[in-house]
Amino acid sequence: MSGATVTVNAPNGRQVKVNTGLFINNEWTSAKDNATFASINPATETEICSVSKASAEDVDRAVAAAKEALDGPWSQLDGTSRGKLLLKLADLVEAEHETIASLEAVDAGKTFTKAMKDIHEVFEVFRYYGGWADKHYGQTIDAGKHRFAYTIRQPIGVTGSITPWNYPLIMVSLKLGPALACGNTCVLKPSEFSPLSALYLANLFVKAGFPPGVVNIVNGEGREAGARLSEHPDVAKISFTGSTATGKQIMKAAAPTMKRVALETGGKSPVIVYDDADIPNALKWVYYGIYANQGQICTSTARIYIHEKIYDEFLKRFLAYTEKHAIVGDQFKEETFIGPLVSKTQFQRVLDYIKIGQQEGATLIKGGGIFPERPDGKGFFVQPTVFGNVTHDMRIATEEIFGPVGAFFKFSDSDDIIKIANNTRYGLSSAIFTKDMIRAIKVSEKLASGMVWINSSNNSDYRVPFGGVKESGIGREGGEAALDENSVLKTIYLNLELTNDE
Ligand code: NAD
């Protein structure tokens, strides 16, 4: 049995061949009962193709392949050899940069410009972890007279990865890159809203020379395929990026086998603009922090606190900046900054929040509607939206919207604003704008979030640890931190003084 191959025609003329089956043991197979689901183009609402939908039994097959591969040729490769495979993979992704970006733009609604940046990051992430593969090791520790201990880094085993739709392939690279560098094997379940780029990547693993079973990719629904992967007794670690609600379910599913859990979940991040901020710089980043990727970013700085002395002026200039830059429409046009939201569900959810904001008494200053890009009215486009007069208890101020909707607040007291910024169940990121670096550093230390940007927003880098506190997650991706998360630190004691108490 093998999954079908389809050709996806991107509007930029690229024709991309994708195998839509389940990728297990370096082979393509169909799902049980040939089950499939449709992958939808969010700009046109038409079906791109149907994709094999893994059942729990299919996930079991993938896990069994990954388990067997742990003891196969993969286990004979040292860090340097694993690194070479990752470097080869990075080269293959780079060679297909535009093709993969075109596919992701069609499947996830990303602007092609953004998708090109994302895929650039994907091959750099694989390259980065390829470089790390033989440079992550233990220590020698003095443990008293005639005794010492040393630590070694070992693979955890089979790792399960569950990814969301907003950065489909970047998330895959951030999970699989360090997992493979550390010698683990992988079962990946991508989001059912953006399954195609991961399927395209599958063949590149084979081309790069990864042995069968080391990487397995099974698309399917969260509640079946994702749930089975999370609870599976042979999966030693589950790494998840997605909503906080799902993250909690995954923790529960993982508890009986006490597998390692890494969660990158939701956020409602604050940005604080003090009255001494460099305004043109703050405008650029506040705009980027709320509208990039259609606002579908977990670290989106959607709570925008502006000092009262500059509030009116800032808001006026922000609206003018948005008018000029936030061009909505066809994601393949160069000038477009805001493409469609990923799905009908997400589209409806964002429109519902806009209604809720109005019902709660916030002032809708800009946008708020559907963007009629196509004459037939199709496509999940939402206008860039700005709310003013938002109060801290409103749902649009406390709940993650995950769309191009910013809430503006006025503040006056510099101490009070830290309490207000921290008054959320989330703690992923924060941003502050000020020219006073002593204040910037002191405030960053007090903000209850995993990451803080000073004088920018949402410009994360894969070489730097990424992750949240509170209900925004557990663990870190990116940088060297991800290698610790993907390996077991084993301690070995060595006693040099042999005794004879006979
Ligand atoms: P989601 O939680 O609905 O789905 C994410 C993934 O989990 C998908 O692959 C889905 O199939 C799977 N899933 C769903 N239910 C499951 C279950 N019961 N068991 C196992 N897997 C299950 O999230 P989404 O809508 O795809 O993504 C948006 C959310 O992701 C937002 O809340 C956003 O903040 C968050 N996110 C967080 C980060 C981060 O790094 N912190 C990054 C991107 C997105």
Atom of ligand 1 nearest to the CA of 246: 2
Which has the closest alpha carbon to 107: 20, 36, 173, 165? 165
Burial class of 420 by CB neighbour count within 10 A (0 to 12, 13 to 18, 19+): middle
- For residues 387 and 302, the answer to whether their CB atoms sit within 8 Å is no
487-495 and 147-155: which strand pairing?
Answer: antiparallel
Domains identified in the chain and CATH numbers: 14-265+465-489 (3.40.605.10), 270-454 (3.40.309.10)
- State the pLDDT at residue 135: 98
What's the pLDDT tens digit per position in 38-84? 999 999 999 999 999 999 999 999 999 999 999 999 999 999 999 99
Dihedral sign of CA atoms 196, 201, 203, 205 in order = negative
- State the pLDDT at residue 369: 87
Catalytic status, residue 264? yes
- State the pLDDT at residue 376: 80
Mean pLDDT, residues 361-390? 90
What's the pLDDT tens digit per position in 101-117? 999 999 999 999 999 99
Dihedral sign of CA atoms 195, 125, 135, 474 in order = negative
Range with the poorest average pLDDT among 161-175, 370-384, 468-482:
370-384
Q: How far apart are CA 314 and CA 443, in angstroms?
A: 21
3 state DSSP class of 496: coil
- First-to-last alpha carbon distance for the chain, in angstroms, is 66
Mean pLDDT, residues 404-430? 96
Q: Which of 96, 121, 192, 264 is catalytic?
A: 264
Q: How far apart are CA 497 and CA 502, in angstroms?
A: 15
Q: How far is the CA of 241 from the centre of ligand 1 (A)?
A: 5
Q: How far is the CA of 262 from the centre of ligand 1 (A)?
A: 13
CA distances in angstroms from 419 to 90, 406, 442, listed in the order given: 44, 20, 14
Which residue, by CA, sits nearest to atom 42 of ligand 1? 298
Q: How far is the CA of 242 from the centre of ligand 1 (A)?
A: 2
Q: Is 460 in the pocket of ligand 1 (CB under 6 A)?
A: no
DSSP 434-449: -S-HHHHHHHHHHS-S
Partners of 146 in beta bridges = none
Q: Residue 268 gets which letter from DSSP?
A: -
Pocket test for ligand 1, best of 188, 246, 259 (most atoms within 8 A of CB): 246
Mean pLDDT, residues 80-108? 98
Mean pLDDT, residues 422-438? 98
- State the pLDDT at residue 1: 47
The residue written with tokens 């160069």 in the block is: 334
Q: Is 267 in the pocket of ligand 1 (CB under 6 A)?
A: yes
Mean pLDDT, residues 412-425? 95
Q: How far is the CA of 55 from the centre of ligand 1 (A)?
A: 19
Q: Crossing angle of helices 168-181/112-132, nearest 10°?
A: 0
**Helix or strand run (H / E) with residue 287:** helix 279-291
- State what percent of residues in the chain have pLDDT above 90: 97
**One-letter amino acid of 370:** I
- State the pLDDT at residue 373: 59
Q: How far apart are CA 205 and CA 82, in angstroms?
A: 12
Which has the closest alpha carbon to 47: 286, 256, 343, 423? 343
What's the pLDDT tens digit per position in 442-480? 999 999 999 999 999 999 999 999 999 999 999 999 999
- What is the tally of helices (H) and strands (E) in the chain? 15, 22
Mean pLDDT, residues 281-294? 98
Q: How far apart are CA 268 and CA 302, in angstroms?
A: 6
- State the pLDDT at residue 2: 63
